[in-house]
Amino acid sequence: MPQHRVELRFNDDSRDLQTHTNLSAIRTDGHGLWLAGDETATIEHLVPREGRYEGQRGFALADYVELPAGRDEEADIEGLARDDGWLWAVGSHSRKRRRVKSGEPHKARRRLATVLREENRFVLLRLPLVGEGTPDVRPVREDGERAAGILAGPGANLADMLADDPHLSPFLDIPGKDNGLDIEGIAVRGERVFIGLRGPVLRGWAVLLEIRPRAHRRDRLRLAEIPGGEGPGARYRKHFLNLRGLGVRDLCPHGDDLLILAGPSMDLDGPVRVVRWRGAMGPDGPAGAEVVPASDLEPVAEPPYGVGDDHPEGMTVLGDGSLMVVYDSPAPGRLTPEGGVYADVLPLA
């Protein structure tokens, strides 16, 4: 159960866009919080004041990188990471099936047969940060030799990289909530980048991708060859984790360990748990990391979840070692009269 709750207060524009009810990613920067929702193409920053987080500033991704479908289409950001002066964000890279509207059975059949691909979902980007450790921290397009960069576009995005993968290619055209490809979570340490997959889950085994993005041009990233890598140019490595049938909902470094928020791959409420993969973020990574049994994944927290609401979507470790969790589709009791939403703070075992 949560130790306590903390209010995250958003401005009027974000409430109008329902960012506060669609939170999908969170990361602390030592002073404030970086957050993203899955219905916009922005990232938000809040600072602590009087026991809550407020003072929201929003940053449009299109101000720093060229998004494939422009600034007005959502990017479905499902993971944030911060490392060595960079802020990383990753889209879901998933297709989506249209929602069914009740009371319209004929239209519902057609909508269920319609699968959409939205190009802004297929992005991985990193932004230089300036002013870290202060309330005025912000991303910039350039900072000396550092420049914002994006991995996106036909043939360059992560989904296209998997086109011939023997495990994952059969799932690329399947919508995310149907156990198709669906990225949720990113963790970065130096040149190593872990990408979590909510789906597919393969006979109970979840998948993490490990990649090493590098600057290509001033505004572009490309993937470098990785030891033991797979695919064209050996540009990625797969890790299979026995999460007992669950997929990855978020990733967060904790020292040399990697915390994994595990939850359903499909449109279900639970179960949800946080597990620790020891040594995964260390300099050499864990031994025998390609296939990780459940016995090597230590349960450390169980965020609450609701029925039809309160879906844990993002987590970050706070300065005192506790875990903050944010929720998509928050229950009415999680919303505050001042336009905020409560995050949970849980102890880590």
Q: What digits encode the pLDDT tens for the residues 47-59?
A: 999 999 999 999 9
Query: Domain span at residue 333?
Result: 4-346
Q: How many domains does the chain have?
A: 1
Please report the pLDDT score of residue 339 as a whole number.
86
Residue 141 has pLDDT above 80, yes or no: yes
Q: Are the C-beta atoms of residues 46 and 9 closer than 8 Å to each other?
A: yes
Is it the case that residue 165 has pLDDT exceeding 70? yes
Tell me the average pLDDT across 215-221: 89
> Residue 19 phi/psi, 5° resolution?
-60, -40
Tell me what the mean pLDDT of segment 335-342 comes to: 92
- What does pLDDT average to over the chain? 94
Q: DSSP label at 295?
A: G
Query: E strand or H helix at 106, and its extent?
Result: helix 105-112
Of 294, 341, 308, 288, give the one whose Cα is nearest residue 18.
Answer: 341
pLDDT over threshold 70, residue 304: yes
- For residue 349, name the pLDDT band (cuts at 50, 70, 90): confident
Q: What pLDDT score does 31 carry? A: 84
291 bridge partner residues = 240
Is 80 exceeded by the pLDDT of residue 2? no
pLDDT band at 319 (very low <50, low <70, confident <90, very high): very high
Predicted pLDDT at 163: 95
d(C-alpha 277, C-alpha 325), whole Å: 18
What's the pLDDT score for residue 3? 83
Residue 341 CB neighbour total at 10 angstroms:
21
Query: Which candidate, 85, 76, 82, places its Cα nearest to that of 313?
Result: 76
* Per-residue confidence (pLDDT) for residue 21, from 0 to 100: 87
Residue 229, helix vs strand vs coil:
coil
The CATH code of the domain that includes 324 is 2.115.10
At residue 286, does pLDDT exceed 70? no
pLDDT of residue 16: 73
**Closest by Cα among 203, 207, 66 to 147:** 66
Q: What is the pLDDT of residue 288?
A: 55
